[in-house]
Amino acid sequence: MANLEKTIARIRPLDEVAMAAARARQDELTKPRGSLGRLEELAIQVAGIQGRARPSVRNKAVIVMAGDHAVCSEGVSAYPAEVTPQMVYNFLRGGAAINSLAGQAGARVLVVDIGVAAELRPHPGLWQRKVAPGAANIARGPAMTREQAIRALEVGIEAVEAELGRGLDMVATGDMGIGNTTPSSAIVAAVTGLEPALVTGRGTGLDDAGLRRKVEVVERALRVNRPDPRDGLDVLAKVGGYEIAGLAGVILGAAANNVVVLVDGFISGAAAVVASLLCPVAKQRMIQAHLSVEIGHQAAMRWLGAAPLLDLGMRLGEGTGAALGMMVVEAAVRALNEMATFAEAGVAEAKEATPAAAG
């Protein structure tokens, strides 16, 4: 059995026993019940993911998948494809936004070359697992073969497994790939059935003419490839990208290993859609970190039935929103674990109000 099949077979629903114990503790902490709002439910979800009533999120990593896209030749990006390897080197030097935000979150950064259309110099922070030098032009045919899609998914799974050896409680998904909002829009349009114009945005800053051209490219990609919206592998192979496949693998690998996964913005959201098609129960184990301003991401969140933690008007990618989400999750878990209960603090619990006797 392939690693992908084995991984999917290991993904289980959330641990209800751990969640019940975490919920009971929440109700005993020195605060009115429910007063920490979503933080309480978030900590309970993390307990269910890890299978522990007192979860831990000490060991954190951001996995950034990098890949190129031949569809850039259609004029769908304001930046040239050469920026992908240049930004990979920026990550490795520690000069990108994700390096700053991951540092604030206390997370290490692993960059994976899964499909960059250039030979990259070796670096301790770079995992070289190139499946192919960039996805093919989806406006003219499939992005990759089905076998390549499986291999890219397994690279993501293997990245999680490698990080487990260094200690891993929580992982954030990140991406780098000029042009990758185009395949992300195609994935979301294919799966949701929405018109491409309703899920395609300006990406790195296209003008009106560029946006119209991008919408036409997505329309052509769907018409040429006809992806099956019920088959995650078919959608991924026909209109996806290698970094999107790798991120879907990270999500599945985290779910199978009881690791909390913070899903970033639009590219990671498209990967989450694919992962959910491959394994619907994996949706329970994802935490959507933030809501991108990209309309395609908003459509993906509606399809997933998700309520992202943050809405900060971001659209950078790299895992930046997910790194911020890590801090919210850690705050939720610390409140659950470190607050005293009423009994421990010697504080009287609230009593239910009783109606006054009729006079």
The CATH code of the domain that includes 43 is 1.10.1610.10
Residue 345, CA atoms < 13 Å, CB-side half-sphere: 12
Q: Is residue 354 part of a domain?
A: no
Q: How is residue 296 written in tokens?
A: 């395609």
Successive 10-residue mean pLDDT values, the chain, 359 residues:
91 98 97 97 98 98 98 95 97 98 98 98 96 98 98 98 97 98 98 98 91 97 98 98 98 98 98 98 98 97 98 97 98 98 90 58
**Contacts of 88 by beta carbon, 8 Å cutoff, 6+ apart:** 66, 111, 113, 116, 120, 126, 176
Q: Which residue, among 189, 211, 207, 214, has the nearest Cα to 199 in the 3D structure? A: 189
Q: Are residues 318 and 172 in the same domain?
A: yes
Would the CA dihedral through 191, 194, 197, 202 be positive or negative?
negative
Q: Which of 163, 243, 318, 330 is catalytic?
A: 318
Rg (CA), the chain: 21
Q: How is residue 303 written in tokens?
A: 């399809």
Domain total of the chain: 2
* pLDDT value at residue 321: 98
CA–CA distance from 322 to each of 115, 172, 180, 248, 290 (Å)? 22, 5, 18, 15, 7
Q: Are residues 71 and 188 in the same domain?
A: yes
Residue 81 · residue 68 · CB < 8 Å: yes
Q: Reduced to 3 states, what is the DSSP secondary structure of residue 1?
A: coil
| 318 among known catalytic residues | yes
Q: Is residue 193 part of a domain?
A: yes
Q: Are residues 179 and 320 in the same domain?
A: yes
Q: Is residue 101 part of a domain?
A: yes
Residue 83 · residue 260 · CB < 8 Å: no
Q: Is residue 352 part of a domain?
A: no
CA–CA distance from 303 to each of 70, 225, 274, 300 (Å)? 28, 22, 11, 5
CA distance 17 to 81: 49
Q: Are residues 205 and 73 in the same domain?
A: yes
- DSSP class of residue 70? G
* pLDDT value at residue 176: 98
Residue 168, CA atoms < 13 Å, CB-side half-sphere: 26
Q: Are residues 224 and 84 in the same domain?
A: yes
Cα 328 to chain centroid, rounded: 15
Residue 98, CA atoms < 13 Å, CB-side half-sphere: 32
Q: What is the pTM of this model?
A: 0.96
Beta-bridge partners for 263: 288
DSSP 165-215: TT--SEEEEEEE-TTTHHHHHHHHHHHH---GGGT---TTT--HHHHHHHH
* pLDDT value at residue 224: 98
CATH number of the domain at 148, please: 3.40.50.10210
CA–CA distance from 253 to each of 162, 188, 261 (Å)? 11, 22, 9
Q: Are residues 175 and 310 in the same domain?
A: yes
Give the range of the structural domain holding residue 174, as residue numbers without chain letter: 60-328
Q: For 16-39, b where at least 16 C-beta lie within 10 A, e where not — what string?
A: eebbebbbebbeebeeeeeebeeb
* pLDDT value at residue 359: 46
Q: How is residue 150 written in tokens?
A: 């499986």
Q: Is residue 178 part of a domain?
A: yes
- Tokens 């019920």 correspond to 230
Q: Are residues 85 and 50 in the same domain?
A: no
Q: Are residues 72 and 47 in the same domain?
A: no
Q: Which residue, among 263, 269, 261, 306, has the nearest Cα to 285 in the 3D structure? A: 261
